[in-house]
Chains A and B, each alone.
Chain A
Amino acid sequence: MVIDPDTDLVARAGHGDRAAAQALMARHLPTMLALARRMLAGQAEAEDCVQEAFLKVWTHAARWKPGKAKFETWLYRVTLNQCYDRLRKKPAEPLEAAANVPDGADGPDRGLETAALEAQVSAALAELPERQRAAILLCHYQERGNIEAAEILGISVEALESLLARGRRTLRMKLSHLRDGAM
């Protein structure tokens, strides 16, 4: 039996409890949006993707049966599927991140550095095949364990490790000039 911290909130949201829905959203929205933002080219698209994932939560919450899989695993799988759908409909625009220059709270130079780093990393990520990108983001950006990431992706741990190895290699080759620079 899987111990799922979301079970109670999902059940309450399914029975119309708005506070439970709000709590569920507060718990998962930041990581879901961050994942979608790094998977996709733009902020607006990532927001639409996350909104659609929550729409699925609201429509399925009343029928959610705990025990089979963790709610979070299902939720992130739904989010990634939304991302894949969008990636297949529309080609990536990796340079949009360059337009999202931070507000300069750490000083203008630091803000520009961060924006440049984000643009380069986003461009390199966008060139990875979508499964490699998802694997890299789940394990290195969101720091999930291999077993959990493999469950979200619906693959074996060995397959995940293979995706990770290829993705890391490509990223390092493309971004090695950043090692002593912006980081």
Chain B
Amino acid sequence: MGENERMDDAGFTHEILKALPAVTIPAALEARILGDFDRLGMRPGKLAGMLARIGERLWPGVPVWQPASVLAVSLVMGLTAGAFLPSPGSVTPASDLVVVAALDNTLDIDLDRDQ
């Protein structure tokens, strides 16, 4: 490709892109962006702001209440399960007794009984 041709390509590209209409900025977009700034509570040292920034890193783009709700529901479910469900390793004393009693019995087999 010659230098003249390169220059023509550059001139053409420049001209055609400059002819494009300007992109308009909706006021709603500015409000959304500033809304994010307010939501993140950009005040260092404030607990809410810090939590909001941590929430933003863990779960970007959602309001803080969503990850907080999921965390709270998970906590409640975990506590409920811990309080009411028996742990899988536990053995009831009654089942222990049955096993011990069975082992304590002597085998009483009379081999002549069937004859």
Whole-angstrom distance between the alpha carbons of A136 and B35 in the complex? 33
Contacts A15-B44, A16-B44: A47 and B61 contacting too (C-beta < 8 A)? no
Secondary structure call for the B interface: helix
A16 CB to closest chain B CB (Å) equals 4
Closest B residue, CB atoms, query A106: B21
Secondary structure call for the A interface: helix
A62 and B17: CB pair below 8 A? Answer: no
A171 and B12: CB pair below 8 A? Answer: yes
A87 CB to closest chain B CB (Å) equals 18
B17 and A136: CB pair below 8 A? Answer: yes
Stretch of A18-26, A65-73, A88-96, A152-160 lying at the B interface: A18-26
B81 in the interface (beta carbon within 8 A): no
B20 and A141: CB pair below 8 A? Answer: yes
Closest A residue, CB atoms, query B42: A16
A54 in the interface (beta carbon within 8 A): yes
Taking CB atoms, residues of chain B closer than 8 Å to A114 are 21
A46-81: CB near B (< 8 Å → 1, else 0) gives 110011101100110110000000000000000000
B113 in the interface (beta carbon within 8 A): no
B37 CB to closest chain A CB (Å) equals 5
Closest A residue, CB atoms, query B46: A16
Taking CB atoms, residues of chain B closer than 8 Å to A168 are 6, 9-10, 12-13
Task: Supply 7 A–B pairs (Cβ within 8 Å), ascending by A.
Answer: A25-B34, A43-B23, A62-B44, A102-B21, A140-B14, A171-B12, A175-B12
Q: A46-B23, A168-B13, A175-B12 given. 9 additional CB < 8 A pairs?
A: A18-B38, A38-B20, A52-B60, A55-B56, A58-B40, A121-B19, A137-B17, A168-B10, A169-B9
